[in-house]
Structure 1
Amino acid sequence: MRFGRNDDTEPRVNLTPLIDVVFILLIFFMVSARFADERVLALELPPAAHAGATKEAHVDVRVTPGGGFEVAGESVAAEALVASLRAQRAQYPDRALRVRADRDARHGAVVRVFDAAAAAGFARVDVATRSQE
């Protein structure tokens, strides 16, 4: 008398649930991943705790609330910003660029100054802040 199985086939592992789990994990990671093309500017930003007057000479760029620009005290159109910064860079090659933006200035105008500074060849860009006292 034989008890048990009568067939001589070997047991098989069903891979369908494993494949389903792998596909679900793949979909989860594809959906939750962030694909961003962010360009990073190498800037040395002064911390707000050290805000105040510095003894180091700078080339000053002001951004007005209306989005206008002033380089070294002279009004400059947005199209001439890079040329003006290149002239300042040629005149003062060792100076850093200091951006003084009004708190109501648009973010895009400040980014335009950073782009113009990179195009003009400034290696160091500081952002002027004031202390919270």
Structure 2
Amino acid sequence: MRFVRRGDNEPSINLTPLIDVVFILLIFFMVSTRFVDEQELTLELPAASAAQPEATPTDLTINVSRDGRYQIEGHVVPATQLVASLRALRAQYPQRSLRVRADGDARHQAVVRVMDAASTAGFARVDIATRAH
């Protein structure tokens, strides 16, 4: 008769697959997480030390004045007509990008309104013009 020792046949748990899954989850969360440092900053806009050259002739330009008036390619446009005007320009010039030239004292809401209208009109690229220090 053959007797089996209890020490030889004890169940064991293999932790290797569990550790692999934990590391894969860790890598997934590290790659997919956006780390945003939200804090209040003191900014002086629109001056920039690394300002790019002036707009190329293929850029469409929209100006935002200090008092919130909009001018697209030399024509004054009311705020209610921004999206329609930008859609017409987008249809006429589908490959061009949009350059926003805002006065340094323009309200932030006026610039955001232009960027929102540009997004609604279908512009994929919107640049903000700045000046060198």
TM-score (norm 2): 0.61
Distance 1:54-1:75 versus aligned 2 partners, 3 A rule: closer
> What is the deviation of 1:48?
4.7
SS for the counterpart of 1:55 is: coil
Counterpart in the other structure of 1:89: 90
Deviates more, 1:83-92 or 1:53-62: 53-62
Measured after TM superposition, the shift of residue 127 of structure 1 is 0.3
CA pair 123-107 structure 1, distance change in 2 beyond 3 A:
same
Partner Cα separation in structure 1 for residue 108 and residue 60 of structure 2: 20
Q: Is the 8 A contact 2:64 2:101 kept in 1?
A: yes
CA distance in 1, matches of 2:56, 2:82: 26
Identity between Structure 1 and Structure 2 (%): 55
- Match of 2:50? 49
Number of the residue aligned with 1:128: 129
In the TM superposition, residue 54 of structure 1 has moved relative to its aligned partner by 4.1
Paired amino acid for 1:102? D
What is the aligned length? 86
| Aligned counterparts of 2:88 and 2:101: Cα–Cα separation in 1 | 19
For the residue of structure 1 that corresponds to 2:105, the secondary structure is coil
Q: Is the 8 A contact 2:83 2:118 kept in 1?
A: yes
Asked if the contact 2:55–2:99 (Cα under 8 Å) also holds between the matched residues in 1, the reply is no
**Counterpart code for 1:130:** R
Three-state SS of the structure 1 residue aligned to 2:83 is helix
Structure 1 stretch displaced more, 53-62 or 95-104: 53-62
Which structure is larger by alpha-carbon Rg, 1 or 2?
A: 1
**1:1-133 mapped onto 2 (5 Å cutoff):** 48-55=49-56, 57-132=58-133
Closer/same/farther in 2, CA of residues 84 and 106 from structure 1, 3 Å limit = same
User: Deviation digits for residues 27-71 of structure 1, max 9, x if unmatched?
Assistant: xxxxxxxxxxxxxxxxxxxx7514322435111000000001001
- Cα distance, 1:57–1:101 mapped onto 2, change above 3 Å: same
AA aligned to 1:81 is L
Q: Which runs of 5+ in 1 are unaligned?
A: 1-46
Q: Distance in 1 between matches of 2:57 and 2:49?
A: 17
Higher alpha-carbon deviation: 55-64 or 66-75: 55-64
Q: Aligned partners of 1:60 and 1:54: how far apart in 2?
A: 8
Cα RMSD between the aligned structures? 1.4
Task: Identify the residue that residue 19 of structure 2 maps to in structure 1.
Answer: none
